Structures are given as C-alpha cells and as structure tokens.
A and B are shown apart, each in its own frame.
Chain A
Amino acid sequence: MLTIKNLHVNVGDKPILKGINLQINPGEIHAIMGPNGSGKSTLAHILSGKSGYTVTAGSVAYNNKDLIDMAPEIRAREGVFLAFQYPVEIPGVSNIYLLKAALNAIRKHQGLSEVDAMDFLTLVKGKVRLLEMDEKFLYRAVNEGFSGGEKKRNEILQMAILEPRLCILDETDSGLDIDALKIVSEGVNSLRSPDRSFVMVTHYQRLLDYIKPDFVHVLANGQIVKSGGPELALELEEKGYSWLESDQVAA
C-alpha cells in the first residue's frame, strides 16, 4: 500500500527526515514512536501533502502511484487521511457541511453521484454514536471552541465517515482522557480491515494496549533507528530512547 524509500526532507536548508525506509502492506498497523522533534509529524505531513517541505531525495509510492506529486486533496480522495496532532479550527464552516463536502468529493472522484441526504444523515449519526459524541457537535463550526480531546475525537469521526485506506494518526491519544481513549480506540478498531492500513504516531504504550500494532518503529533524528513487534514499545516504555540513539551514534 505504501512504500517509502530513502526519503529525505528539508525545511528550508534544514534536513528533517534523513533517509526513511518503510513498507506498509494492506491491513497492517504500524506504530511510530520517537523523541520530540525527531520528525514524526513531518513524516505525517509529507504523506498528506502539506506545503513548506522539500523532498531532496527518495520516493513515496501509494498504491503504486507517486504520492509526492499528488495535490493534497487528490491524496485525500484516493484514501490518505491524516488525523492531525493539532486539528485546525474553522469558524463558520459546520462539521456536517465539511463532512458532506468531503464525502461528495470522494464520491465524485470515484465516479459516483452525490450522497443521498437521508443516507448521509444515517451514516453520520451512526458514527457519532459509535464515538459517543453529542449530535450537537455536527452543527458546530469545525473544531471551534472544542476541547483538546473533543478535537481529537472529531478527527476520528471524520475518518470513520470518509473510510480512508491509509489512516495516519498523529498523536491522536494525547489530550484524550482515559474513557475517551478507550472510545476512540474502539472506533479505530471498528475500522480495521484487511485492506485498510494505519500509521499511528504516539508517545505512549497506553494507546497500543487498545490498538495492537503489527510493527513498532522508532524514529530518531530523522531516521528509523529500530523496528520491531509490539514488544518494542514495552521496551521503550521501560528504557526510554537514549539507548537507541547512542546505538545509532555508535553504528
């Protein structure tokens, strides 16, 4: 589904990603952990097409298409979804309006007609219930005045409705209280399927207790310095990152 080869990314003259290699197959869940500032959000942004970065080397292929050359909205319509670490507030645009616009853009991209108004409401309300949100959120402006946790939950609501193929979750767990973490995790788990893949950026083992990853990668200083199974996350929880970084320096 996603093949990242030797990806180098700069912000201005500053190298941020320094040779990332990552293979994600359909149905897999990959967790990405790593110290602050190591480049996790940069990787997420690069995948979703945010401007302001320069790819200086390497490639990203998504379903055998070159992702780097694709406009952000085309990637989104093709099934790439980023749940932001810091979701943006959009005053004046209601949640439900955005959901409908997004869903119809995807349908149009797929050559389908606009979603029927009743079907849409049924779909949306079902997902609102799944994430145990108040329906009132649908009619509020996107993220405006939402609490930190509510914003994160809203991102997952959008994801549940748009049914992307590649879901990138950037620290969706931070800001969620214990109950919300559980609800959101169940929401994510309900979306698991053999043809949908997840990249979850997180700092905490807690999330991985609920959503069990197939692979855990450690990103440090712009490179993946270690990959392993779920047990790697436990090890990190215990030992922190310093042993890996010194490893890296030694290597």
Chain B
Amino acid sequence: MSTFSASRYTTEYQAIAATLPGQALVWLKELRADALEKFSAHGFPSPREEEWRYTNVSVIEKKLFATVSRETPLPKLQVVDAEWLKSFQLEDTWSVVLIDGHFSAEFSDLDGLPETVSVMGMADALTKQPELLETYLGRAVNNTEHGFIAFNTAWFTDGLFVHVPAKQVLEKPIQVLHIVTQSDVMAITRNVIIIDDMAEARIIESFAGVGDNNYLTAAVTEVFVGRNADHSLYKMQSESEKAYHFGGIYIKQAQDARFTHHNFAFGGLLARSDIHVDLDQASECELNGLYLGVNRQHIDNHTRIYHLKPHASSREIYKGVLGDRARGVFQGRVIVAEDAQKTDSQMNNRNLLLSNEAEADTKPQLEIYADDVKCGHGVTVGQLDEKSIFYLQSRCIDEETARNMLTFAFANEMVDKIKIKSLHDKVLEQVLVRFPQEGVEKSWL
C-alpha cells in the first residue's frame, strides 16, 4: 500500500521535474534519477524499519502534498505578513528566508556579509557553485539512508547554501527561516553548509508555518565541518500545529573539528528530526535537544553519533516534556568503530510526563567495537518530583505554581545553553507559550 501512494507522488513528479533547479548539471540529474528510483521502490519509511519503529508517516503518503513551483505566482507569497515574519526573525543576524520552499530575495538580508563567504539559495548555488556542490551534495547522507532522503533528493526545490572559507570567523550568526504559507503544499529543501578548516560560524535553522495550515516540510541539511573548525548549529522547529515535519541534519566532522547542535522541537502534529554525526580523530561534538509535546503531538528525535577515529568525544543531552496525549520518541545511537580507541561519549535522555496519557519512548543504543573507551548513557521517564514540590510549597509557593516552575525549570536547562541572546529569548518565549505558565514570572528569569 505504501508503494501505491509513493507512486502517486512519483506520477506527480513528471509534471514538476523540469521546473526543479540544476537542470544543466548531469551529476545532479543522475543523483535525482537514482533518488526517484529508490523512492518509487520503497516509499516513505515504514515502522517496520528499526529506526522508524515508533513513528508512522503513512498519513503523508495518503495526503499527496503538492510542490509549490517557482514559476507559479503565489498570491499568498506576497501577503506574507512582515510583522508575523519578524516574530521569528532574529535581530543582528544575516538572514535567509525560504518561503514555501523557495529563496526569497525580498525578505532575505545579507548586507555586510564578508565577500569571501557565500550565503545564498540552493537554486542560485547550483548555478554559481556547481563544482563545490558536486563535491558535497549527497556526501554526508545518501539516498539509501531512508525514504525521506531519497524523496528530498529527487524533489528539492531550493534550500540554503553556506560556504565559509578557511580561517574565516563569522561574527554574526546566519539565520535561515523556512516558512510555509499555505495548506496542502510541501516545502522540500536541500541545505549544504561547508565550514572550511579553522573557520567559525553559527547558523540557526528556523521552521514556522502560518496559522494551523496542514503541510509537509522535508528539509535535509548536510554539514561539513573542516579541520579545527568550530560550528554551532541551532534548530528551532515551531511548525504549525497541523504540519508534518521531517528535518534531517547530517554532519561530517574532520579532525579536531568542534560542532554543537541545539535542537528545539516544539511544533508540528508529527515531527521527526535526524541528527547524525560522523566524528574524525579528536573531534568534539555536543548534541542538545529539547522536545515539547502537547495535545496529540508526536515528536521523534533520532540521533546517531559515529565515532570513526580515536580520541573524539561526544556529549548528548535530550530532554522531553510531554503533556496531554502527546508522544515523544528518543532514539540515540552511539557507534564506536574498532579504530576509535579513547572515545569519550556520554548520552542522556530525560523525559517529564505531565499527564497520564502522555507517552515517552526512549531507546539509547551503544554499539562499541573498540576496547579502550569511556562511554556512558542514562535515561529517565518520570513525573515531577514530589519532594521538590513540597520544598517549594514550604517556601510559600502554591502547588500549581510549583508544578509550573519545576516544569519550566526542567526545560529551561536546555534553553540556557543557547549562547545567542536573541535566539535564547525567542526560544524562551516559545517554551512559555506551550506550557502552563501561571506563576512563572518571565521578567525575573
């Protein structure tokens, strides 16, 4: 049955294939053809696949979302409310805005970007930087990974391209804002971020939708962090409450590279993130995650840290807060190759359930093939600690406020790790609107 629906997408594909960017590039045509073939054969991932066992995306197959083509003038596109957009845009950043899967020159702002640095839409980049893209696109993740990757490769309409040359330090963060303005459409973007040796950059991927539109976002981001380079990548996912979201981030870290990822998964009816990192010698990675689920949200985070070479370290903390009938999924794999001696790895997942009907599925997996390593992991699923509630009550705080304070505090630990002030404040706002805030005094935080 999944093959049937997938083939509906495949049939539609013929109509849009010619409008997709990069037509002149033979390598890309081949890559897309291969992807289409794989997607036609297997469709979207199924819960029969181990890495998708908690998340059923068959509804996406059934819906048949439509691509928004660049050529079609979009009535809605013009009426993107600048004020609304601003509520997601961060001050003091270079900003790239993608609307319904297409780069918008009108809303993007790259003033003052150093000339040596390239930041542009993917469609532009395929014209201006084809060699670089031939080298990198599809190298951090390939079409065989799972159905969404193949789907994304075949269908992507645009995306973000960033290249920071060696030794360049970007003093301002870059924000890429993926927004979807309509129902029944899909925004399929491919993003490539290249941070060369010894360069430093901070990038924020934000996802948002208008109102309670029902749409699909499928973004694949490939990240290459060069030798001794330093990259922080943030993901702020606040899709509309009826949206489907797939966002995969695949990172290759060269020797001595440092990479930090912060994943804030707040929106969508069904949202899945992949964060997969390959670590070369003595590189360091840190994965932080916070997922909040209310109503009937289903939020799935899948992380994979692959220690390929010796002396690398990884630190991972994912926290989930789940209320109502929400379901949170955490699958964290750490693989230590035979060669990766002296690996130092810690993985932690903590879930707070606010209602009896909320659910958390957590599955840490350590696969260790080297013998001289330090690896640890821990998971918890629980409710608020009664001792802490009483302690706060004994300090004059009523029980409801105490519960709200403790819930907020649990989540806030992850928010406090954000080092960009404007982003910190935005994320904090988003946390506060999603949970009971009675008694939590924002102005004191």
Contact = CB atoms under 8 A, between A and B. Distances in A.
Contacts of B83: none
Interface in A97-113: 97-98, 100-103, 105-106, 109
Q: For chain B, what secondary structure do more than half of its interface residues adopt (helix, strand, loop), or is it mixed?
A: helix
Nearest to B385: A88
Contact of A49 (B387, B394, B409, B444): B394
Interface in B388-422: 388, 390-399, 401, 405-406, 408-413, 416
B221 to A, nearest CB: 30
A92 B413 contact: yes
Please indicate which of the listed interface residues B391, B412, B445 has the most CB atoms of chain A within 10 Å of its own CB: B391
Interface stretch (A23-31, A59-67, A76-84): A76-84
B349 to A, nearest CB: 16
Nearest to B443: A117
Nearest to A88: B391
A73 to B, nearest CB: 5
Contacts of B409: 90-93, 141
B260 to A, nearest CB: 20
B395 A50 contact: no
B46 to A, nearest CB: 38
A76 B445 contact: no
A98 B408 CA distance: 13
A87 interface: yes
B306 to A, nearest CB: 31
Contact of B413 (A72, A91, A100, A102): A91
B441 interface: yes
Interface in A145-170: 158, 162
Contacts of B410: 91-92
Interface residues of B, number: 28
Contacts, number: 83
Contacts of B412: 92
Given A90-B409, A92-B409, A97-B445, A158 B395 contact: yes
Contact of B393 (A71, A158, A162): A71
A246 interface: no
A162 B394 CA distance: 12
Given A90-B406, A97-B445, A73 B388 contact: no
A88 B445 CA distance: 20
A103 B441 CA distance: 13
B378 to A, nearest CB: 15
Contacts of B405: 93, 101
A51 interface: yes
B418 to A, nearest CB: 14
A76 B390 contact: no
Nearest to A100: B444
A48 interface: yes
A76 B391 contact: no
A49 B405 CA distance: 20
B391 to A, nearest CB: 4
A166 to B, nearest CB: 12
B395 A76 contact: yes
A72 B394 contact: yes
Contacts of A109: 396
Contacts of A106: 396
A2 to B, nearest CB: 16
Contact of A76 (B386, B394, B441, B444): B394
A217 to B, nearest CB: 23
Contacts of B439: 101
Nearest to B408: A92
A73 B445 contact: no
B387 A105 contact: no
A158 B385 CA distance: 21
Given A92-B410, A97-B441, A98-B395, 7 more contacts: A49-B393, A76-B394, A76-B395, A92-B409, A105-B397, A105-B398, A162-B396
Interface of A: 48-51, 71-73, 76-77, 81-82, 84, 87-88, 90-93, 96-98, 100-103, 105-106, 109, 141, 158, 162
6 contacts: A49-B394, A73-B397, A81-B394, A90-B406, A91-B409, A101-B396
By Cβ-Cβ distance, the 3 closest A-B pairs, closest first, are A92-B409, A105-B396, A72-B393
